[in-house]
Amino acid sequence: MEDLSPVDTKAPTIAGRIVRYDSRINSLVPADAKLEKLADGFRWAEGPLWNRNENYLLFSDVQTNKIYKWEPGKGISTYLSPSGYTGDTPFNGLEPGSNGLTFDSQGRLVLCEHGDRRVARLEDRENNIKTTLADRYDNKRLNSPNDLVYKSNGDLYFTDPPYGLPTQRFDDPQKELPFSGVYRLSSDGKLTLLTDEIRSPNGIAFSPDEKILYIADSTTKQSRWLAYDVAPDGTLQNGRTFADAWRWERNRKGFADGIKVDQAGNVYAAAPEAVFIFAPDGTLLGSIETGDKTSNLAWGEDGHTLFITANTAIYRIRLTATGKGYGT
């Protein structure tokens, strides 16, 4: 992969627009809210994650096998390279790098790594030393872990579509498992398959009370966000469509992707050319229009800022809503 020189805007530029479908959005997105482009020039920006202790944003550039850091007043720098593929031979595919990122309870970075086909924890950034948390199920290699979220009890839930494989297809020759799974890695290290019924599981997030798990299905021609009830033992029940994205995908670039939730349970979903904002009952309240394939999002700063990754760029917008995990 050729190295890129991302463009740090220094002074953020205004981009996009807000569309309001339901009056309830007015309590979440203020009338003067503006979408700011912070930097551009990446290959496929994904997995934004705000460091609340040190006040900076991390995000993956999946195609260049790097994690970048954006720091207010300082701009863009490389945080980790390589980020998702550490093999000695050239990667045979489009997306070798890390994708979804999160922190564990001790503040350690946990990564979904496409190229190395695993979920890993970063132990030593200077020497790029990691611990593998999950790379096999039933003695077969995972496909390419994509996104992840911790439950408050320490269990890690993650999705495993084929997007990091050479063809990115469900029938890729290097695919060892006959399905694309959603898994739970319990705090004692046990890996459990929760469902194998989603062809392309992608973004993942819990409701504030952790009784519902939202999962994006990015399958072409059936792109949607699903909701599952979380049983007391952590397994999933009663899977159903929460919201459909296919009606937009037919006319716009992108598909159902990353998900975040605010403190009140509203769902913010990366979607074709936008972030869609849904009420807990699935009503579409409005959208933050990026105009490009929108991959993922993260709450940051004081919990009222939403960071967004969309194709080659990163954005932020100040909201009235408070992100899940802030102010509680």
Question: Which parts are annotated binding residues for a divalent metal cation?
Answer: 46, 202, 257
- Residues forming the annotated binding site? 46, 146, 202, 257
Residue 318 half-sphere exposure, CB side, CA atoms within 13 Å? 9
Element (H, E) at 247: helix 246-249
What is the C-alpha separation between 256 and 244, in angstroms, rounded? 8
Cα separation of 299 and 316, whole Å?
Answer: 9
Q: From its phi and psi, is residue 128 left (phi > 0), alpha (psi between -120 and 50) or beta?
A: left
Q: Are 72 and 55 in contact (CB under 8 A)?
A: yes
Q: DSSP assignment, residue 139? A: T
| Residues forming the active site | 257
Burial letters 128-139, b for 16+ CB under 10 A, else e? eebeebbeebee
Which residues fall in the annotated binding site for substrate?
146
In the numeric block, the tokens 């030593």 are attached to 124
